[in-house]
Amino acid sequence: MAAEANDSELRKGLHGMWASVAPGWAEHADYVDARSSDITERLLDAAGVGAGMRVLELACGPGSVGIAAAQRVGAEGAVVCSDVAREMTAIAASRAAEQGLSNVTTKVLDLEEIDEPEESYDAVVCREGMMFAANHARAAREIRRVLRPGGRVAVAVWAARERNPWLTILLDAIGEQLGAQVPPPGVPGPFSLSDPRALESLLSEAGWSEVAVDDEPVSVRVEDFDDWWTRTCALAGPVSGLLAALPEEGVEAIRARAAAAIEGYRNGDSIELPGVTLIASGSR
């Protein structure tokens, strides 16, 4: 019971955190789409998304994957873009409406307790969301539960910390300033599902069949340090709150550390930071 109570409190905190950063995701939605376009296509391919299917996107943020899925399923199909934060689903709904996608609806859903009937979707997709679940195993079981028999699922999570300097430069700079690891131990973070073997075992134990885990490179190219700083701080959920709580001199010290580290990735007139995501897929 104590573990469940802790999970519940952790989930509430995470939900509030994502609601608070929704404006940044709205502002940078087109950038997110472009940065992760290859991942989106890989997810949709791995989930077998095609004409006439009913598809659920979990942790949708600005709805990037769901909107792309809507193009594939066509008028005879349907896509639900869902997120724990109503503020995020509002962004996805607005963007789908702007594109005239009448086959897209939105719902507020928690991927650890998906308030949908069993066997109600042909495919489930989730890009960069599952690693933030308080209980990964419960999330994996819930995803399987809402899939029809033979339905497919594909999720993308970030690979190991050292393979993603586009984000770790910022997290390490903050950690050095605070004298503590960011995010702290015990809090679900971007790299909490970064071990491919552990991820495969987790999904298999949750009942997924034909589980496969593959790498997908995703580099982040920016014009300059300020471009990277603005976008990364706006999109990295826990970071905005941390920086807002620090005195100005503390933030400037973090900026200076990050700026020095970024220079190692300069390529002519731009900066190109490597990144790798893991795409895990399976079926019910």
What pLDDT does residue 135 have? 95
143, part of any domain: yes
Paired strand residues for 258: none
pLDDT at position 251: 95
pLDDT in tens, 170-223: 999 999 999 998 888 878 899 999 999 999 999 999 999 999 999 999 999 999
Coil, helix or strand at residue 87: helix
How many domains, the chain? 1
pLDDT digits (tens, 9 = 90+) for 101-119: 999 999 999 999 999 999 9
User: What integer pLDDT is reported at residue 12 of this predicted model?
Assistant: 67
Tell me the CA distances in angstroms from 66 to 155, 185, 240, 241, one per residue in order.
Answer: 13, 32, 26, 28
- In sequence order, the 6+-apart residues with CB closer than 8 A to the CB of 130 are 58, 59, 111, 136, 139, 140, 155, 157, 193
Sign of CA dihedral 104, 31, 124, 45: positive
The arithmetic mean of pLDDT across residues 241-270, rounded, is 93
- The domain that holds 90 is classified in CATH as 3.40.50.150
| pLDDT band of 7, cuts 50, 70, 90 | low
In a domain, 168, yes or no: no
Measured CA to CA, the distance from residue 281 to residue 45 in angstroms comes to 10
Q: Has residue 242 been placed in a domain?
A: no
Domain that holds residue 57: 2-162+187-220+277-283
> Residue 2: what pLDDT?
47
The pTM for the full model equals 0.91
